[in-house]
Amino acid sequence: MPFGQADVRRAGDDVTIVATGAMVGRALAAADALAASGVSAEVIDPRTLVPLDMATILASVAKTGRLVLVDQATRHASASAVIAAEVADQGFSYLRAPIKQVTALDATVPYSKPMEDYILPDEPKILAAALSVTGAGAGRGEGAE
Amino acid sequence: MEPEPDLAWMYRQMLRIREFEERVKATFTEHPGVIRGHTHLADGAEASITGSLAALRLSPGPGDQVMATYRCHGYPLVLGTDPKAMMAEIYGRAAGLCGGYGGSMHLADPDRGFLGTSGIVGQGIPQATGVAYAAQIRGQGQVVLCFFGDGAAKQGAFAEALNVASLWKLPIVYVLENNSYNVVTRVEQEDANAAAGDTCSRWSRVRCLRASTWCRSGRLTCAGPGTT
């Protein structure tokens, strides 16, 4: 596997979804659901965070104008927060909507299955975040918070 | 004079631990997935748990605290935690001891001095030492019992914790539950002292009780490496 070279797992035009680790599969599933709603999502797996392939991510955001980040980690000091900051820094003019982060809640992972599911990113949360910036739910405050 | 242990009470506690854990084991094997992840049982450690905690019972102090090994079900049972709440916690239920947040490996009952547990072997040793430091600062005569196994004693933090506890004369009793195995490795293969022939004597409930009681009666002037 090449270091510092992101993998574009699915091509799309309306929204860029950058997902890491185990979240890639959930992002791809969400992209399928988005396609059913008429939204074309591009899914990128950075594969390595250091070095981070910002060129691929920026090129995608330049095309779609929208960015959703999916990270299993808690939001504070997460890879997702770093990528969001880099895109805001280097690709601000590309953005047509706010960057959305879908991360675990800032909490310890609980033992109980329903509570664990509650705090981790899943397909409906990714879907809601993508729709909130692509039109179907845009402007109605249906973010991934 | 050393107080007499209530042997019937001790036997009852050992039996309760074994029965509780047999139920956990049966659920774990018969209904996969109901108990998530893994669970750590303590077959054979009933006596060391009960004997040591019997010392707290014989001369209860104000707000004494207990740190368990990662095989943690027995300690709260002896300390008086509701077994139903414990079992509900192990099942991940809202009615559980910790509201379903902890599960089998993270039982905690601070109201009864049960500080909490972790699945990480030996992690409780430095934490219990910190709790003892806090107890010393509070100055209310609290005592901490810190349990760990012979395998956990190979953690680097073990030597560091005992060193600082001895230097600062912290109110803590370290209870080494030597079951002769580091998971599956014999003590002679994992312990340099044991390999050299200096075999640690195996625990017995009465010996544990005497060591703990002795520390209590001396108000922990004896707390330090090699005394328990």
Beta bridge partners of B148: B176
Q: Which helix (H) or strand (E) holds A35?
A: helix A23-36
| pLDDT score, position B151 | 86
> Residue-wise pLDDT tens for chain B (228 aa)?
556 678 899 999 999 999 999 999 999 999 998 999 889 999 888 998 998 898 887 767 778 999 999 999 999 999 999 999 999 999 999 999 999 999 999 999 999 999 989 989 999 999 999 999 999 999 998 999 999 988 888 889 999 999 999 999 999 999 888 888 888 888 888 777 666 654 334 434 444 444 444 444 433 333 333 333
Q: Does residue A110 sit at the B interface (CB-CB below 8 Å)?
A: yes
Q: Pull the structure tokens for residue A56.
A: 């691929």
Domain ranges across chain A: 7-134
| Shortest Cα distance, chain A CAs vs residue B91, angstroms | 8
Q: Helix H segments across chain B?
A: 7-30, 46-58, 74-79, 83-90, 124-138, 156-168, 187-190, 192-195, 205-217
Neighbours of A86 (CB within 10 A): 14
CATH homologous superfamily of domain B7-216? Answer: Thiamin diphosphate (ThDP)-binding fold, Pyr/PP domains (3.40.50.970)
Interface size A-B, in CB pairs within 8 Å, comes to 22
Distance CA B148, CA B43 (A): 15
Chain B hits for A112, Cβ within 8 Å: 92-94, 100-101, 103
Say yes or no for a CB contact (<8 Å) between B36 and A113: yes
Distance CA A93, CA B149 (A): 60
| Shortest Cα distance, chain A CAs vs residue B31, angstroms | 16
Say yes or no for a CB contact (<8 Å) between A111 and B93: no
Question: What is the model's pTM?
Answer: 0.80
Distance CA B73, CA B81 (A): 10
Neighbours of B91 (CB within 10 A): 20
Q: Which helix (H) or strand (E) holds A62?
A: helix A54-64
Say yes or no for a CB contact (<8 Å) between B100 and A112: yes
Distance CA B174, CA B145 (A): 6
| pLDDT score, position A30 | 98
> Does the domain formed by A7-134 have CATH 3.40.50.920?
yes
Residue A75 is given by DSSP the state S
Encode pLDDT of B133-147 as tens digits. 999 999 998 999 999
State ipTM: 0.74
Asked whether the beta carbons of B101 and A112 are under 8 A apart, the reply is: yes
pLDDT along chain A (145 residues), means of 10: 95 98 97 95 97 98 98 94 97 97 95 95 97 70 44
Minimum CA–CA partner of B88 in chain A: A112
Q: Does residue A112 sit at the B interface (CB-CB below 8 Å)?
A: yes
